[in-house]
Amino acid sequence: MATADRMEASYGQLQAEVARLRRELEERNAALTVSLAENKNIRAALKRILDALPCGVIVIDANDGIVLVNPEASRLLGTPANSASLLQQFPAHIQPLLKAAISRDDEHEITLNAEKTARWLSIRRTALHVESSPDNGRASDQFVLILRDVTARKEAEQQRETSRNMLALGEMAAVLAHEIRNPLGSMELWTSVLDKQSTIGEEGKYCVEHLQAGIRALSATVNNVLQFHGHGSAGLVRLKVKTVLQNGIAFVRPLAEQAGVKLAINLEIDNEEIEGDPNGLQQVILNLAINAFRHTLTGGSLSISARSNEKLLLVDFADTGEGIAEQDLKNIFNPGFSRGSQRPGLGLTICQRIMEQHRGAIRVISRACQGTRFSLEFPIL
């Protein structure tokens, strides 16, 4: 009975100890549950932060491959999100870029050729050493790659460089044009003197006319360069458009004869006046005429007509040339655009600029193989 009493007492103690251990286990399980919930919340918060980062993040394990790729990294590399768990599963053209980035300690830039444009990425590498854990029993090295899209900065740098080059080229072209214009003026003067000589004969006159045509075409190019790179607005005065047109037509007539293009003139205006610059308007006439002669076959024609209504004076240049392709119509007034690779492509740009200075407009109607019509509109005083 004494032994039974002792055993009963020991059993009671054992029950009490089991109850205590059960309470401790419950407390620890509760604490573990709270800790797991906190870890889950922290992981979710960290994932939201990584997903919201404006830069790409890639974590690569030296042993296990890809650990993490955030959405921005997938977008920058052009790969579907969560599509790669191994480095070898990335597209073939991206794998060497990532391998090279892992082996470099500096921040460097790479270019990815997309479907339409190239994308520039800046990549910075950070090395992490992960201590061994009881689960895997081994340590490993991890690398964090930070990716940023620097395409806009690269394009801005290229545009600035292009602008600097264009500015330097423009200044050089303006200087050359100034130096060339004076000798051209003298040549134009002397050819006019030769043309008035009665002793040079028909053959001499023919040569003088072709010489005048070449000089005037070259003068148009020089004036276009000076006008394009010049500053300030034109000095506008009150003038009669019919007189300006007649002078301009007389100036381009040798060019028409040299090109074998017939001129048809129909000026249905009298004393209508506009506020304009006679030199600028003559440049417009010269540019449009030269443009028509270049794209009209021998035997074709250029019609220059003028009419007016109550508010506007309208001047049309219509040729029977090869016309302008539909896809080119939106670009013909852009600086440098030309269907001939040996031409500067400034004539129509200068025409548009001069018309804007005159508070007017220039319009074009054209179809391939069906000729072209340029229309000028001036407000009448």
Last residue of a domain, one of 149, 168, 196: 149
Residue 123 domain flag = yes
Contact present, 346 and 335 (Cβ < 8 Å): yes
What distance in Å separates the CA atoms of residue 304 and residue 317, rounded to the nearest whole number? Answer: 5
How many domains, the chain?
Answer: 3
Q: How many residues does the chain have?
A: 381
What is the pLDDT, as a whole number, of residue 170? 66
What is the pLDDT, as a whole number, of residue 179? 63
Residues 116 and 242 in one domain: no
Residues 241 and 105 in one domain: no
Residue 378 has pLDDT above 70, yes or no: yes
What is the pLDDT, as a whole number, of residue 28? 92
Residue 24 domain flag = no
358: containing domain: 233-381
Section 255-265 average pLDDT: 88
Question: 189: which 2 tokens?
Answer: 């003067």
H/E stretch holding 109:
strand 108-113
Distances (CA, A) of 92 to 39, 67, 87, 89, 364: 37, 19, 10, 8, 50
Last residue of a domain, one of 149, 164, 197: 149
Section 354-370 average pLDDT: 87
What is the pLDDT, as a whole number, of residue 114? 62
Supply the DSSP string of 201-254, one letter for each residue: HHHHHHHHHHHHHHHHHHHHHHHHHHHHH--S----EEEEHHHHHHHHHHHHHH
Residue 303 has pLDDT above 90, yes or no: yes
Last residue of a domain, one of 210, 231, 252: 231
For residue 62, which phi and psi values (nearest 5 degrees)? -65, -25
What distance in Å separates the CA atoms of residue 20 and residue 17, rounded to the nearest whole number? Answer: 5
Residue 304's pLDDT band (boundaries 50, 70, 90)? very high
Which of 277, 293, 282, 298 shows the shortest CA–CA distance to 343?
293
Question: 176: which 2 tokens?
Answer: 């050359």
What distance in Å separates the CA atoms of residue 155 and residue 80, rounded to the nearest whole number? Answer: 26
Which of 253, 164, 254 shows the shortest CA–CA distance to 208?
254
Residue 2 domain flag = no
Q: Residue 261: give its domain's CATH number.
A: 3.30.565.10
